[in-house]
């Protein structure tokens, strides 16, 4: 048996992605022997190609990093002084015997699908992605390939996102109503990606926007990268207490229950995450409102990305791996699982204690009747945010 295992006992090395596969799972991460590099390795390596700066994909300790140029600043903001080389989207670089290029994944600023070409064979590693354009990062770009490595964080038929304009309208109304009632609107979200997407999408004229320090550090990295965001303040910079009662406050989930919140007085709170689609997720968070917004593709988005890749062979990483592999095989594709240590930053905090069934019934296109009722897999480790 090889060092990579699939779901239902199918070892990757036994299937089509055998010993000569361009990419294999090693204890350090996804390894490309022909190029001598790893992609998003979870243990320290010599050369790491990074799809994006979320904590489960970009870790400290590698000797050399290569990432898409638009993500350089956010990577440094998260990892500090690293030996980082940027590569523009679409630009080709030869590493060992492999031609490498990065292509927009539409997930967060600088996120990339990594294309590998070796002896006429093309693989694409998607990292995390979403197909809806968020106005903050470059939009997802389908890349044709023979083998596609896809995430499957929300790979269940019940996950179908509303158009983001609708979600933003809901957030705006909640904020507006709170401001009219003289209370702050505390919105928990992940500090990197989701926070900046929210900032770019809300109606900033409703009131002042206050950001937790963890969010503000990444706002700065985004602005320095050329992303336009409305003006934001740290709470220490607010002099008029009346401003706090009309403010939208963006904070990481870790700020919940801390004394940092005391200065806002009375407030309404909410959480923005794809996991808010799960019944009970909002209640377990103990917040007033849940806004369903994810930076990952929903079920139709995952399917669309697989189709657009044209790949005959697909490897599935984090999330609903078994369901996705089954669906792909039913579509006549050669599908396998890649066992990784990616968690899906969106799910790290909520998924382990979210055993409830999703709110919506399984759609008619569900590959199997029971697929819609599977709980999300518990991540093996928790991403920082």
Binding site for Zn ion (CB under 5 A): 54, 128, 342, 344
Q: Which is nearer to Zn ion, 107 or 245 (CB)?
A: 107
Least distance to Zn ion from the beta carbon of 94, Å? 27
Q: Which is nearer to Zn ion, 130 or 246 (CB)?
A: 130
Grouping H, G, I as helix, E, B as strand and the rest as coil, residue 161 is coil
Q: Which is nearer to Zn ion, 23 or 206 (CB)?
A: 23
CB 152 within 8 A of CB 159: no
Residue 263 tokens read as 């200065």
Grouping H, G, I as helix, E, B as strand and the rest as coil, residue 103 is strand
Kindly report each contact of residues 17-24 with a partner whose C-beta sits within 8 Å and lies 24 or more positions away, as own/partner: 17/147, 17/313, 17/315, 17/336, 22/98, 22/116, 22/118, 22/121, 22/123, 22/147, 23/116, 23/123, 23/125, 23/147, 23/149, 23/315
List CB contacts of 332: < 8 A, sequence separation 6 or more.
Answer: none
What residues does 261 pair with on adjacent strands?
none
Q: Which is nearer to Zn ion, 217 or 357 (CB)?
A: 217
Residue 69 main-chain phi, psi, to 5 deg: -50, -45
Q: Which is nearer to Zn ion, 128 or 269 (CB)?
A: 128
Q: Which is nearer to Zn ion, 24 or 318 (CB)?
A: 318
Q: Which is nearer to Zn ion, 147 or 152 (CB)?
A: 152
Least distance to Zn ion from the beta carbon of 238, Å? 31
Least distance to Zn ion from the beta carbon of 342, Å? 4
Least distance to Zn ion from the beta carbon of 56, Å? 5
Least distance to Zn ion from the beta carbon of 132, Å? 15
Least distance to Zn ion from the beta carbon of 58, Å? 9
Least distance to Zn ion from the beta carbon of 102, Å? 15
Residue 77 main-chain phi, psi, to 5 deg: -60, -30
List CB contacts of 363: < 8 A, sequence separation 6 or more.
Answer: 157, 158, 160, 299, 372
List CB contacts of 311: < 8 A, sequence separation 6 or more.
Answer: 124, 145, 146, 147, 148, 333
Least distance to Zn ion from the beta carbon of 344, Å? 5
For 217, counting Cβ atoms within 10 Å of its Cβ (0-12 exposed, 13-18 middle, 19+ buried), the class is middle
Q: CA-to-CA distance for 101 and 112, rounded, in angstroms?
A: 9
Least distance to Zn ion from the beta carbon of 135, Å? 18
CB 320 within 8 A of CB 328: no
Q: Which is nearer to Zn ion, 159 or 342 (CB)?
A: 342
Q: Which is nearer to Zn ion, 126 or 309 (CB)?
A: 126
Residue 95 main-chain phi, psi, to 5 deg: -130, 115
Structural element, H or E, at residue 309: helix 299-309
């Amino acid at each position: 048996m090889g060092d990579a295992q699939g779901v239902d006992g199918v070892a990757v090395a036994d299937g089509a992605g055998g010993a000569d596969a361009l990419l294999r799972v090693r204890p350090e991460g996804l390894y490309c022997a022909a190029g001598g590099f790893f992609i998003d390795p979870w243990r320290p390596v010599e050369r790491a190609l990074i799809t994006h700066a979320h904590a489960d994909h970009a870790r400290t300790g590698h000797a050399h990093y290569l990432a898409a140029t638009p993500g350089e600043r956010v990577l440094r903001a998260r990892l500090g002084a690293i030996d980082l080389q940027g590569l523009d989207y679409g630009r080709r670089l030869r590493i060992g015997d492999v031609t490498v290029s990065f292509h927009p994944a539409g997930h967060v600023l600088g996120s990339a699908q990594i294309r590998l070409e070796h002896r006429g064979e093309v693989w694409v590693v998607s990292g995390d992605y979403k197909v809806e354009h968020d106005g903050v990062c470059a939009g997802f770009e389908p890349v044709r390939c023979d083998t596609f490595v896809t995430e499957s964080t929300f790979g269940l038929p019940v996950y179908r996102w509303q158009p983001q304009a609708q979600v933003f309208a809901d957030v705006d109304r909640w904020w507006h109503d709170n401001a009219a009632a003289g209370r702050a609107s505390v919105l928990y979200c992940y500090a990197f990606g989701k926070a900046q997407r929210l900032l770019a999408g809300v109606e900033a004229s409703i009131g002042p926007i206050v950001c937790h320090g963890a969010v503000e550090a990444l706002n700065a990295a985004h602005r320095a990268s050329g992303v336009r965001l409305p003006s934001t303040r740290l709470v220490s910079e607010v002099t008029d207490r009346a401003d706090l009662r009309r403010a939208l406050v963006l904070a990481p989930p870790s700020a919940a229950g801390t004394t940092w919140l005391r200065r806002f007085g009375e407030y309404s709170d909410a959480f923005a995450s794809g996991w808010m689609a799960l019944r009970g997720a909002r209640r377990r968070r103990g917040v007033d409102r849940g806004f369903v917004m994810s930076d990952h593709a929903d079920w139709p988005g995952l399917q669309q990305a697989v189709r657009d890749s044209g790949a005959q062979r697909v490897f599935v990483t984090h999330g609903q791996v078994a369901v996705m592999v089954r669906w792909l095989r039913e579509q006549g594709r050669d599908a396998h699982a890649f066992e990784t240590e990616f968690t899906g930053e969106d799910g790290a905090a909520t998924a382990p204690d979210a055993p409830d069934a999703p709110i919506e019934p399984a759609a008619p296109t569900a590959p199997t009747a029971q697929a819609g009722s599977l709980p999300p897999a518990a991540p093996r480790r928790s991403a920082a945010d």
